[in-house]
Each structure stands twice: as structure tokens, then as C-alpha cells.
């Protein structure tokens, strides 16, 4: 094979028009991401982009909007229990799941109802 996939560059989640401030409160204030600048032409479409380390999340406006209930990004983290406590203190519902052997994991929803998996390999 002459090619290979190296990594996921970014994940895009859909959100309704006018989502930007709500997305900032969740991804910056709660999850600890930083906002990154969208390229000029893409700014016109709305939405907002975030980064934490090498992980980027792009929130894109979609009309009509419907949240992803099954499809989801999965983020591997260190110290999942500390993150879980932080989320609960901030009023974020945590849905436990012990169906993946070798991993501690749970699910949360972003403010728009999109499913997000959080896991730590043990």
C-alpha cells in the first residue's frame, strides 16, 4: 500500500445557528479547550473551532440541526475520574458504560445533544 492514515486531524460536530457562545462556555470553560481562529472564508459559515493539544473540534452550523445520538468522537484522557468529578460539579450528566474491556469510559453530551465518549485505557 502506498499510503497510510497518520491521525485524525479534527472532528466536526454540528450545532444550530447562533451556537458559538454556548459552545465556548462548554468547550473552553468546562472541557478546557482553547478557541482557535477559523480561516476567513469559513468564518462566514458560522460555528467555532477549538483545540486541546493536538485535538481539534470544529463546531459547524447545520440547518436544520439534529444532534448525533449514536455517531460520536471518542477522547482518550488521563485521570478519567478527575474529569468525571469536574463534569459532575459543572452539572454535566455522565452516562457510565463498562462494556469495553480494558477501558474505563463514559459518555456525555455537548450543549447541543451530540454524544461524546470519554475513555481511559487501563
CA nearest neighbour of 69 among 112, 113, 111: 113
3 within some domain: no
Omega cis (within 30) before 23: no
* Residue-level pLDDT at 102: 96
What is the CATH classification number for the domain harbouring 52?
Answer: 3.10.180.10
Query: Which residue range is the domain that position 71 belongs to?
Result: 11-121
* 4 falls within a domain: no
> Residues 6 or more apart from 80 whose CB is under 8 A from it?
104, 105, 106, 118, 119, 120
The answer to the question of residue 6 being in a domain is: no
Rounded to the nearest integer, the mean pLDDT of the chain is 95
Query: How many distinct structural domains can be found in the chain?
Result: 1
Written as nine digits, the cell of 69 is: 445520538
pLDDT for the residue numbered 29: 97
Mean pLDDT of 28-44: 95
User: Whole-model pTM above 0.85?
Assistant: yes
Amino acid at each position: 500500500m502506498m499510503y497510510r492514515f497518520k491521525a485524525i486531524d479534527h472532528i466536526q460536530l454540528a450545532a444550530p445557528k447562533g451556537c458559538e457562545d454556548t459552545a465556548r462556555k462548554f468547550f473552553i470553560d468546562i472541557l478546557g479547550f482553547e478557541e482557535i481562529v477559523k480561516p476567513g472564508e469559513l468564518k462566514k459559515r458560522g460555528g467555532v473551532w477549538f483545540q486541546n493539544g493536538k485535538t481539534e473540534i470544529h463546531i459547524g452550523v447545520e440547518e436544520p440541526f439534529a444532534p448525533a445520538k449514536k455517531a460520536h468522537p471518542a477522547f482518550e484522557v488521563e485521570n478519567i475520574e478527575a474529569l468525571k468529578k469536574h463534569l459532575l460539579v459543572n452539572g454535566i450528566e455522565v452516562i457510565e458504560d463498562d462494556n469495553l474491556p480494558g477501558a474505563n469510559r463514559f459518555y456525555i453530551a455537548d450543549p447541543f445533544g451530540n454524544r461524546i465518549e470519554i475513555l481511559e485505557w487501563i
